[in-house]
């Protein structure tokens, strides 16, 4: 089932790339990076929503599964946020001739990346207390999420050099972007699932070793 | 956990104030007797200000004083504040006092608020010393008025202390206490520093406090989207309210094993 999800994600991403490269090309050429940039930015935000939901779930129920989902979604979100910022910088250099500029959306995307990075560092730094550590991470996840609406609001409502509402010339372009969105979302779900089960088996192994 | 006040709301309120005052007074008295952290905070703050002053010598002749002064002020507050926050639970942990504190018939939220207020008081004392030093070193003119400056600094102070106090209890058992606390606190405070810097720039006369038109905001940096001085203070108030309330509610998850 998980393999099927990964296969589906790869198929969708290949279809998106193929259409983007042929029928759906955008002029000037650097704007084609949008097919990677936009899906990754959406998934970076979605992973934070999953992280928030899992954190609240853990604090409410105390079940370890929620904590593992939170960890997995932070790892996946970190990857997406890294790609988001990297592709954004490439585009920025080609379009505006600077690698980075402190415009609201670029600042908030950087903040998103830092939030994921600190969450992952916090997870590995805490000493082994089985109940308290996940709670501390969950609290950080919730407090950190309070910063995220700002990222979203700035990407939509604040006038900026960075345009969110890109107008397409043809249906091919919309199709390529939508396929990319779907592919990246499936990839995110598959990654979170894979990491959750890997973390669970690692915990089980550690418990068996202790006994 | 608070059986004492059960069914008697009057007693509960009284309990809350007594507990709050007891912890604040204890923390302040301990600090006054041992002088462990306040001198370090002040000297660290002064060092940060002087290092930035020396490093920015060439820009200051070009009239960048207010910009660098605002940056120096917040950087000094953030890092010196971290010292106070780290200390506020380190002292409890080292002597095993944390168990006594948790056994006291108090709501965990009350313990959090008391620790927060103690940290706010420490940082306020720090500000009284360091703000004049920044004003003198960077040759600033507080055109917006000292009262406004005090209000903005107090709002920043509350925001910085709220997150730091919450996570101070969490990092005590780790090997990298202070450095872990610093990244956790700084990353959460990052968005708040945008309106905070804007407000100081207006007060130091480097930026207009009036609402800017859309055209002038277009294509400019993150600072400009704050818009006006009133909006900047509003954002800071909102951040403070969100952080304090969320920390107050979530604190109990951080301290019990």
Asked if the Cβ–Cβ distance from A125 to B175 is below 8 Å, we say yes
pLDDT value, residue A149: 73
pLDDT value, residue A153: 65
Residue of A nearest to B246 (CA): A143
Asked if the Cβ–Cβ distance from B170 to A136 is below 8 Å, we say yes
- How distant is the Cα of B97 from the closest Cα of chain A, in angstroms? 19
pLDDT at A152 over 70: no
Question: Which of A44, A43, A66, A42 lies closest to A55 in space, CA to CA?
Answer: A66
pLDDT value, residue A154: 57
Q: Which residues of chain A from 94 to 113 reach within 8 Å of chain B, CB to CB?
A: 101-104, 106-108, 111
Which CATH number belongs to the domain containing residue A135 in this structure?
A: 1.20.120
What pLDDT digit, counting tens, does each position of B148-185 carry?
Answer: 999 999 999 999 999 999 999 888 888 888 889 999 99
Asked if the Cβ–Cβ distance from B253 to A114 is below 8 Å, we say no
Size of the A and B interface in Cβ pairs below 8 Å: 94
Question: Which of A187, A119, A124 lies closest to A147 in space, CA to CA?
Answer: A119
What pLDDT digit, counting tens, does each position of B120-155 carry?
Answer: 999 999 999 999 999 999 988 888 889 999 999 999
Cα first-last separation, chain A: 32
Residue of A nearest to B173 (CA): A127
From the candidates A74, A114, A159, A163, which should be mutated to test the interface with B, based on the most B CB atoms within 10 A? A159
pLDDT value, residue B218: 47
Structurally, chain A folds into a number of domains equal to: 1
Asked if the Cβ–Cβ distance from B188 to A129 is below 8 Å, we say no
- Local structure of B175: helix, strand or coil: coil
Q: Using CA atoms, how far apart are residues B214 and B256, in angstroms rounded to an integer? A: 50
Asked if the Cβ–Cβ distance from B222 to A161 is below 8 Å, we say no
Asked if the Cβ–Cβ distance from B175 to A135 is below 8 Å, we say no
The 3-state secondary structure of B112-137 reads: HHHHHHHHHHHHHHHHHHHHHHHHHH
- How distant is the Cα of A78 from the closest Cα of chain B, in angstroms? 15
Q: Quick check: B165 and B88 in contact, CB under 8 A?
A: yes
For residue A78, the surrounding DSSP H or E stretch is helix A64-96
Hey, which bits of chain A come out as E strands? none
Residue of A nearest to B256 (CA): A132
- Residue A194: HSE in the Cβ half-sphere, 13 Å Cα cutoff: 14
Q: Label residue A140 by pLDDT band (50, 70, 90).
A: very high
Domain segments of chain B: what residues? Answer: 3-255
What the block records as the tokens of B207 is 């930026």
Interchain CB contact of A158 with B (< 8 Å):
yes
Domain ranges, residue A97: 2-210
Q: What is the pLDDT along chain B (257 residues), one digit of tens a residue?
A: 444 445 555 556 677 888 889 899 998 898 889 888 899 999 999 999 999 999 888 888 777 888 899 999 999 999 999 999 998 888 888 888 888 888 888 888 999 999 999 999 999 999 999 999 999 999 888 888 899 999 999 999 999 999 999 999 888 888 888 889 999 999 999 989 988 998 998 898 877 766 555 445 444 566 766 778 888 898 899 899 999 999 999 998 888 77
Residue of A nearest to B191 (CA): A147
pLDDT value, residue A169: 74
Interchain CB contact of B256 with A (< 8 Å):
yes
Q: Which residues of chain B from 22 to 61 reach within 8 Å of chain A, CB to CB?
A: none
- How distant is the Cα of A81 from the closest Cα of chain B, in angstroms? 15
Asked if the Cβ–Cβ distance from A139 to B254 is below 8 Å, we say yes
Q: Quick check: B156 and B200 in contact, CB under 8 A?
A: no
pLDDT at A142 over 70: yes
- Bigger pLDDT: A155 or A13? A13
Q: Label residue A151 by pLDDT band (50, 70, 90).
A: low
Q: Using CA atoms, how far apart are residues B240 and B246, in angstroms rounded to an integer? A: 10
The DSSP output letter for B210 is: S
Write down the pTM of the prediction. 0.88
ipTM: 0.85
- How distant is the Cα of A89 from the closest Cα of chain B, in angstroms? 16
């Amino acid at each position: 089932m998980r393999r099927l999800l990964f296969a589906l994600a790869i198929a969708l991403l290949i279809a998106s790339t193929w259409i983007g490269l042929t029928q759906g090309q955008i002029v000037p050429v650097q704007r084609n990076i949008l097919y990677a940039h936009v899906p990754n930015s959406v998934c970076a935000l979605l992973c934070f929503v999953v992280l928030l939901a899992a954190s609240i779930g853990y604090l409410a129920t105390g079940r370890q599964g929620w904590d593992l989902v939170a960890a997995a979604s932070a790892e996946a979100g970190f990857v997406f946020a890294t790609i988001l910022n990297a592709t954004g910088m490439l585009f920025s250099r080609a379009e505006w001739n600077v690698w980075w500029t402190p415009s609201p959306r670029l600042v908030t995307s950087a903040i998103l990346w830092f939030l994921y990075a600190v969450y992952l560092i916090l997870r590995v730094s805490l000493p082994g207390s089985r109940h308290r550590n996940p709670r501390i991470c969950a609290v950080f996840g919730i407090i950190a999420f309070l910063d995220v609406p700002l990222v979203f609001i700035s990407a939509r409502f604040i006038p900026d050099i960075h345009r969110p509402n890109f107008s397409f010339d043809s249906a091919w372009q919309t199709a390529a972007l939508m396929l990319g969105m779907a592919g990246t979302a499936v990839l995110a779900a598959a990654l979170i699932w894979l990491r959750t089960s890997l973390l669970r088996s690692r915990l089980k192994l550690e418990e068996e070793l202790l006994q | 956990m608070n059986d004492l006040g059960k069914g008697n709301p009057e007693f509960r309120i009284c309990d809350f104030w007594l507990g709050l005052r007891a912890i604040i007074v204890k923390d302040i008295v301990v600090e006054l007797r041992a002088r462990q952290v306040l001198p370090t905070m002040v000297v660290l703050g002064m060092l940060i200000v002087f290092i930035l002053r020396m490093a920015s010598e060439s820009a200051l002749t070009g009239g960048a004083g207010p910009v660098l002064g605002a940056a120096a002020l917040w950087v000094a507050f953030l890092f010196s504040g971290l010292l106070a926050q780290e200390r506020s639970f380190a002292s409890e942990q080292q002597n095993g006092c944390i168990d006594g504190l948790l056994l006291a018939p108090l709501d965990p939220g009350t313990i959090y608020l008391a620790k927060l207020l103690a940290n706010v008081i420490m940082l306020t004392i720090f500000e009284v010393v360091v703000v004049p030093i920044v004003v003198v070193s960077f040759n600033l003119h507080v055109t917006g008025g000292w009262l406004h400056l005090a209000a903005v600094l107090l709002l920043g102070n509350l925001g910085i202390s709220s997150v730091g106090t919450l996570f101070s209890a969490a990092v005590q058992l780790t090997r990298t206490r202070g450095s872990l606390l610093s990244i956790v606190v700084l990353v959460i405070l990052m968005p708040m520093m945008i309106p905070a810097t804007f407000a100081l720039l207006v007060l130091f006369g480097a930026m207009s406090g009036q609402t800017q038109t859309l055209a002038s905001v277009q294509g400019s940096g993150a600072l400009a989207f704050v818009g006006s001085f009133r909006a900047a203070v509003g954002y800071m108030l909102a951040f403070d309210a969100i952080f304090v309330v969320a920390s107050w509610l979530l604190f109990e998850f951080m301290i019990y094993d």
